[in-house]
A and B are shown apart, each in its own frame.
Chain A
Amino acid sequence: MAVIEIQNLTYTYPATSHPALREVSLTVEAGEFVAIIGPNGAGKSTLCYTLAGFIPHFFKGELQGEVRVAGQDIRRVRLEDWVLKVGLVFQNPFNQISGAKFTVYEEIAFGLENIGVPREEMKRRVEEVMALTGIEDLADRSPYALSGGQQQRVALASILVMQPEVLVLDEPTSQLDPIGTREVFQVIRRLAHQGVTIIMAEHKVEWIAEYADRVIALAEGRVIGTGTPADVLTDPRLPDYGIGISRYTAVARRAAGEGLWPAERRLPVTLDEAEAGFRAVEEAHAHLH
């Protein structure tokens, strides 16, 4: 069943002349983990904001086309209710801390207080997501006294605790160091295994190649490619659009130029695929001699 259906979406921010998204059409199935790649300014954040309802309800501007999430027209929903259906986590971990609460535990409970969840259920749900995101030991710390990776997991837990049907992540690791990035991706993989529908804008293609079910590439507001990570991430046009490619793909492409990659084999996107390819080349050489 398709959870997200977008038909010919064109959106222009207020006081700008060029659309941020142009005739975007895509569908996402329930339980799918879809990564959105594209250079800066391609419209990734705009797409995330649209799914989460902040476009057109927070940023006004002009929206054309059809956006349906969980069967509902995004234009007809009320933002204050919509946040229960679609959860949004964005780049800056620091700005996602509410500032209203003094400990991590209270910070995660903040959303549940706002939507009127009874106290016992609140505690159960808060403790559940703290275990899921691996931040139990931070419960009594100030949410401001944490590392970026810890803060981003608190932000993620604060949204997950509201049990949204769809989780939208807008470059959640772009301001994190490699350790923070791994911490966040591990949580996201756990969620994907649990069957949460995840839409994630992300630059780090090595991680996408490992985790995502499907990749959508955006450039200048248009969809320029969609398919499995292996198909989209090895698309030779990506560098022309300013989209980074996996270092495994880059190495294999250079090797292929010198005849050192098996001709029939697709270029690799993960370390394992690269290793398998180069071993095949090695064996072929061994046979020759």
Chain B
Amino acid sequence: MVERLSFYLERSSPLHRLNPTTKLVVAFTLILVAFLGPGLLLPSLIFLLILTPLSFVGQVGREFLRTTVRLLLPLFAFLFVMQSLFYPGGKTVLFGFWIFSVKLEGVRFAFLTATRVLVMVSSFLLLLFTTHPGVLLLDLTQRGLPASVAYILASTLQIIPQMQAKAATILDAQRSRGLDTSGSLGRRIRALLPLVGPLVFGSLVDVEERAIAIEARGFRSSRPKTSLVEIEDRPLERALRWLCLLAIILALGSRLWP
């Protein structure tokens, strides 16, 4: 009944062993550098020379490439068609057909935007593939994220599949008593209405019990919390994070003083 809770893939790679915050900082740095840094090729180089090799170090290379392509290919196709044809201020015509003409400026803009989005999406994918959400949240909690915020994030991850299962059960129950959920779009939407009541009100009742349950486990205890799992944070990683900060400053500098 329980589906996969996250993108996480269990492997024993050096990338998996990195401190979650280090991975988070590196992901943000790569994204910022891709968006702020100079040159047409920088984002694509970040993807080809940093993210892709890293994904193989993390033993998730195949999944990484497959998911990235699946997520982004439709978007990229759309982006290239629209921008190469309709980019405002495009002058250099590469080739034309019928009433359309493909312009160099548009292609360049589409390429840069696409590769920036590619870096943004793929660096987060790599983070999620190699970092268990529980460990990431634990590390952030130990760095000052309030426990209640971490709880909301973690429980949401777990409760969404449960809600889906519950919705499916309610829908089945209603269908078995003759609710028609097929046909035109309007009819399908109308068929969803009876689902909302039991799902929402049922969940509200659950919330009270859940509150009692975590209260009974000392969640609001005033004592300092401890944790079962110890998360490693080596000096080398701390240095790497400072290096990331430097890279961000450099990228910002290249944008401000080109």
Instruction: Give the interface of A toward B (CB within 8 A).
Output: 52, 54, 58, 79-81, 83-84, 87-88, 90, 92, 94-102, 105-106, 109-119, 122-123, 126, 142, 144-145, 155, 158-159, 162
B221 contacts partner chain A, Cβ-Cβ < 8 Å = yes
Residue of A nearest to B166 (CB): A94
**Nearest 9 interchain pairs by C-beta:** A99-B155, A111-B217, A95-B209, A114-B218, A116-B223, A109-B228, A145-B2, A96-B213, A80-B220
Nearest Cβ on chain B to A279's Cβ, whole angstroms: 47
In the docked arrangement, what's the CA distance between A94 and B221, Å?
A: 23
User: Hey, which chain A residues are within 8 Å of B220, CB to CB?
Assistant: 79-80
Nearest Cβ on chain A to B178's Cβ, whole angstroms: 28
In the docked arrangement, what's the CA distance between A118 and B224, Å?
A: 11
User: Hey, which chain B residues are within 8 Å of A145, CB to CB?
Assistant: 1-2
In the docked arrangement, what's the CA distance between A163 and B1, Å?
A: 32
Q: Are B217 and A84 in contact (CB under 8 A)?
A: no
Q: Are B215 and A123 in contact (CB under 8 A)?
A: no
Q: Select which of A87, A97, A119, A126 is within 8 A of B230 by beta carbon.
A: A119
In the docked arrangement, what's the CA distance between A90 and B209, Å?
A: 9
Q: Are A111 and B218 in contact (CB under 8 A)?
A: yes
Q: Are B212 and A119 in contact (CB under 8 A)?
A: no
Nearest Cβ on chain A to B91's Cβ, whole angstroms: 56
Q: Are B158 and A113 in contact (CB under 8 A)?
A: no
User: Hey, which chain A residues are within 8 Å of B162, CB to CB?
Assistant: 94, 144
Q: Are B216 and A87 in contact (CB under 8 A)?
A: yes
B182 contacts partner chain A, Cβ-Cβ < 8 Å = no
Residue of B nearest to A78 (CB): B222
Q: Contacts A83-B218, A95-B213: A113 and B228 contacting too (C-beta < 8 A)? A: yes
Q: Select which of A52, A100, A116 is within 8 A of B155 by beta carbon.
A: A100
Q: Are B155 and A113 in contact (CB under 8 A)?
A: no
In the docked arrangement, what's the CA distance between A60 and B155, Å?
A: 27
User: Hey, which chain B residues are within 8 Å of A81, CB to CB?
Assistant: 221
A interface footprint on B201-245 (CB within 8 Å = 1, 0 otherwise): 000001001111111111111111111111000000000000000
Q: Are A98 and B217 in contact (CB under 8 A)?
A: yes
B132 contacts partner chain A, Cβ-Cβ < 8 Å = yes
In the docked arrangement, what's the CA distance between A115 and B103, Å?
A: 65
Residue of A nearest to B230 (CB): A119
Residue of B nearest to A168 (CB): B216
In the docked arrangement, what's the CA distance between A115 and B219, Å?
A: 8
Most buried by B among A52, A144, A158: A144
Nearest Cβ on chain B to A238's Cβ, whole angstroms: 29
B154 contacts partner chain A, Cβ-Cβ < 8 Å = yes
Q: Contacts A115-B221, A122-B228, A123-B228: A83 and B2 contacting too (C-beta < 8 A)? A: no
